[in-house]
Structure 1
Amino acid sequence: MTRGTEKAEEFEELRPLLFSIAYRILGSVTEAEDAVQETWLRYEASTTPPTSAKAFLSAVVSRISINVLRSARVRREEYVGPWFPEPLLTDPYQDPERSAELADSVSMAALFLLERLTPLERAVFVLREVFGFGFPEIASAVERSEAACRQLVVRARRHMNAGRPRFEADRREREELALRFFDALSEGNVDGLREMLAADVQMVADSGGKAPQWAGGFFGADDVSRVLAALLPPFVRIGGAVEPHQVNGQPGAIFRDRYGKVINTWTLDILDGQIQTIRTVSNPDKLGHLGPVGDAWAVLRETQQVRRDPDRETGQPAQRGQGNRT
């Protein structure tokens, strides 16, 4: 076996870990994939075999991600409306010994909190708290002293703990509540929806100015339940599909138009048997990795027409997507 073949096999074995590191630092599937590809190019071009391929590649992808995040910060400051991470359906990296850390750290709420950290704090926190790297490896990865890295972790941990998200401990209960929620949603059951929503529930969207935007969002169980009950039955009637699916390790759904194209994704924060936050991502730039993206504006126009004229004929019979309920 040639060294080139060995490198390729080593890299492919570590690819899930490298992507997971990059995604948590960047909050972007496409940018994480680009960082992993750049890591491979640098590894392929290197001439000195590293003592540990895992340590070397993790360091390279971390440095690339830090640099990308620094430039991305400028773009995010000019972003139209709220900025959310790109939805991730499946985390490719699994480690039974760190399953809790991995699951918590990929949630929308946790990734949103990570945005408060500097790029260096974010990288150090991810490497230490999520993936359990030792300080010597982290220091090498970010090119800082071990003492400096320990201080960075302390600061990052303080910021994260101040707003650390809490979720329903029982995963099965979360999933069952989510399925009841989406059933009530498609039926337009206002009372059923209201019972599942926390009194101070908030519904917020990331459209990037490229899809329908809900102003500053909706707040409170009464307003949110009424809005949902008004919009979703017409959406289903025009052929829209609601597919319950894990999104960023949380109960959620993918919304598709009658042609199966992605319109948006939803994630639900559930605590104490109630939905606390509904986050939806509709910016088409953040949905392309999930498949062909539909025209959300056209779907909204048709939905509104059906609301105004309930007897209006639709293009195709309504459908209910089943999706992945695991």
Structure 2
Amino acid sequence: MTPAAEFEELRPLLFSIAYRILGSVSEAEDAVQEAWLRDRASPVRPDAPRAYLSAVVTRIAIDVLRSARVRREEYVGPWFPEPLLADPYEDPERSAELADSVSMAALLLLERLSPLERAVFVLREVFGFRFPEIAAAVGRSEAACRQLAVRARRHMDAGRPRYEADLRDREELAGRFLDAFREGDVGALRDMLAADVAMVADGGGKGPNFFTPVVGAARVARVLAALAGSFTALGADLEPHRLNGQPGAIFRDREGRVINTWTLDVRGGRVQAVRTVVNPDKLGHVGPVADAWELVRRSFPGKDPRPGAVPEQRSRSTSGPPGGGRTGPGLSRP
């Protein structure tokens, strides 16, 4: 097999490692591309290409994550990983485990780990690498890697959700949930929500927050019903889709451009969390991106929802968004 063919065969695995370390589709793709360039420049062919290339992409991802941590500390509002449409690395025998390891909930837990702990956990717990391979990848001794793995596993086990229902059951409930959303059926929505359900948006200051963080079944159901009316008025539609290995949806405008995505955390027969990504920088790989600010403006004529815009007959010194602090039912701006 040629080196190029060898690399292409391993590309899905390399991307899956990089994405779990970085939580970013674009950064993971860049890390894989950098690994390809380094592999091409190397005059020596490795005896174990899988271990060698996994080590290369892991080192690149660790370096990128260390610089990304600074940017994420300055991020406007909640930060979520970039939504992943499908994990290219498929292992039928471990598909459920792989899906759970790439869920939004799991990736947010990984954010709590140090870059080294995160890399060791991903290589060991998700992809089953041996400790000698991990030690070579992260530049630490085997003993140190074992300690890193223990600490990382302890942190992850303490917070990681347990999905007792299989994915098919979760997707069936998610389908009913999305149907109720389309119909604006508050009662049906409330019945499928956990009592302490949380609804949170990642706009990054670059997209409108379609809702501020909302907690509680009754409040979330009302916000969802209000949002359904706004989306219908815009001619928008939702496309049920598995995202990050979990049930979710992609919202599109009437031209088919992406407005935002939802991932639904379903456990115990209820929706525990609704996480939406509105930041356009995180949606380009999903498809052409809509101007969400323009969609909000069209929903509420005479009001420009963009941060810093001057509302009609109001001065710049007036605090708060136009319309008494709200841009519409369940729609707020950062």
| Equivalent residue for 2:79, pick from 72, 77, 83 | 83
Query: By how many angstroms is 1:238 displaced?
Result: 2.2
d(CA) in 2 for partners of 1:134 and 1:223? 48
SS of aligned partner of 2:272: strand
The amino acid that maps onto 1:217 is: P
TM-score by length of 1: 0.90
The amino acid that maps onto 1:113 is: L
Q: Is the 8 A contact 1:121 1:155 kept in 2?
A: yes
Q: Choose 161-170 or 48-57, whichever is displaced more.
A: 161-170
Partner of 1:279: 275
Q: Is the 8 A contact 2:263 2:276 kept in 1?
A: yes
| Equivalent residue for 1:193, pick from 168, 189, 196 | 189
| Equivalent residue for 1:170, pick from 166, 169, 186 | 166
Partner of 1:315: none
d(CA) in 2 for partners of 1:200 and 1:158? 25
Structure 2: gaps spanning 5 or more residues: 302-334
| Equivalent residue for 2:236, pick from 235, 240, 259 | 240
Partner of 1:103: 99
How many percent identity over aligned positions?
A: 73
d(CA) in 1 for partners of 2:291 and 2:255? 11
Q: Which runs of structure 2 are paired with 1:1-326 in the superposition (5 Å)?
A: 6-213=2-209, 216-304=212-300
SS of aligned partner of 2:239: strand
SS of aligned partner of 1:289: coil
SS of aligned partner of 1:175: helix
Query: By how many angstroms is 1:236 displaced?
Result: 2.1
Q: CA RMSD in A?
A: 1.2
d(CA) in 2 for partners of 1:235 and 1:59? 45
Query: By how many angstroms is 1:234 displaced?
Result: 3.0
The amino acid that maps onto 1:93 is: Y
d(CA) in 2 for partners of 1:25 and 1:181? 31
d(CA) in 2 for partners of 1:126 and 1:46? 26
Deviating beyond 4 angstroms after TM superposition, the runs of 4 or more aligned structure 1 residues are none
Structure 1: gaps spanning 5 or more residues: 306-326
Q: Is the 8 A contact 1:185 1:233 kept in 2?
A: no
SS of aligned partner of 2:2: helix
Partner of 1:310: none
Give a deviation string over 1:125-170, Cα, whole Å, max 9, x none.
Answer: 0000000000000000011100000000000001111101222422
Query: By how many angstroms is 1:99 displaced?
Result: 2.1
Q: Is the 8 A contact 2:237 2:253 kept in 1?
A: yes
d(CA) in 2 for partners of 1:175 and 1:166? 16
The count of residues paired between Structure 1 and Structure 2 equals: 301
SS of aligned partner of 2:285: helix
The amino acid that maps onto 1:236 is: T
SS of aligned partner of 1:89: coil
The amino acid that maps onto 1:24 is: R
Query: By how many angstroms is 1:171 displaced?
Result: 1.9
d(CA) in 2 for partners of 1:192 and 1:183? 9
The amino acid that maps onto 1:251 is: P
TM-score by length of 2: 0.88
d(CA) in 1 for partners of 2:143 and 2:247? 39
Give a deviation string over 1:96-151, Cα, whole Å, max 9, x none.
Answer: 23323211110000000000000000000000000000000000001110000000
d(CA) in 2 for partners of 1:221 and 1:121? 36
The amino acid that maps onto 1:263 is: I
d(CA) in 2 for partners of 1:292 and 1:110? 27
